[in-house]
């Protein structure tokens, strides 16, 4: 349920256009029988501050978000595409503690041109993205805006701490090489 890890590119030497669907392949193990993964595609300015955007439900959203509960990792082989994993959510496949599994996670499609000197970031978290500032409170709105609108995964009944609070390990080794699939548009 922690903040996880953020991987950053070096400062970009030239502008970078990312347009289209985004996906990630991860190899993870958990000390328990399940894990929730929250993936965040991010952009950071020259000063290191995150660049956020006006979303449909929150004015401070990152470039892209994706989620997957590891026990729901099963893919539909007919509907799945390399850039769009399709999970039927028709069965639960518990994890064996300490044994790595392969996860394919869809991240929202996006379209952005990142300026030179900026960095692209990718976060793997155990909880929802949270913009690094005080929540916005809007009179009459039932939720505080923290970067994901009302779409929070914070129910103790759905995410018991004894299962989802366990240590999750990312695996990087021959035969288990995670990646982020980014639709890069070549410069003209």
Using an 8 Å Cβ cutoff, are 76 and 86 in contact? yes
Look at residue 51 in the predicted model and tell me its pLDDT.
95
For the segment 141-161, what is each residue's pLDDT rounded down to a tens digit?
888 887 777 777 777 788 999
Q: What is the pLDDT of residue 89?
A: 96
- Residue 137 has a pLDDT of 85
Fold for the domain defined by 5-185 = Jelly Rolls (2.60.120)
Considering the entire predicted model, what is its pTM?
0.92
Q: Which residues contact 97 (CB under 8 A, 6 or more apart)?
A: 29, 30, 31, 32, 33, 166
The C-alpha atoms of residue 141 and residue 3 are separated, in whole angstroms, by 26
The pLDDT score that the predictor gives to residue 148 is 78
pLDDT score recorded for residue 181:
96
> Percent of the chain having pLDDT more than 90?
73
The parts of the chain modelled with pLDDT lower than 70 are none
Q: What is the pLDDT of residues 60-92, one digit of tens each?
A: 899 999 999 999 999 999 999 999 999 999 999
**Domain residue spans of the chain:** 5-185
What pLDDT is recorded for position 50? Answer: 95
């Amino acid at each position: 349920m922690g903040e996880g890890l953020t991987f950053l590119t070096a400062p970009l030497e030239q502008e970078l256009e990312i347009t289209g669907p985004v996906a990630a392949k991860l190899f993870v193990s958990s000390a328990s029988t399940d894990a929730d993964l929250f993936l965040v595609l991010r952009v950071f300015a020259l000063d290191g501050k995150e660049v956020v955007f006006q979303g449909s439900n929150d004015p401070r959203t990152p470039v892209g978000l994706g989620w997957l509960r590891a026990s729901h990792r099963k893919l539909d082989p007919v509907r799945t595409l390399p850039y769009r994993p399709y999970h039927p959510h028709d069965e639960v496949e518990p994890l064996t503690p300490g044994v790595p599994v392969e996860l394919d996670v869809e991240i929202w499609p996006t379209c952005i041109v990142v300026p030179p000197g900026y960095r692209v970031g990718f976060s793997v978290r155990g909880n929802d993205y949270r913009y690094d500032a005080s929540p916005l409170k809007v009179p009459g709105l039932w939720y505080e805006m923290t970067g994901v609108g009302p779409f929070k995964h914070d129910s103790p009944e759905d995410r018991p701490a004894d299962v989802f609070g366990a240590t999750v390990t990312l695996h990087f080794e021959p035969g288990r090489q995670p990646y982020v699939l980014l639709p890069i548009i070549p410069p003209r």
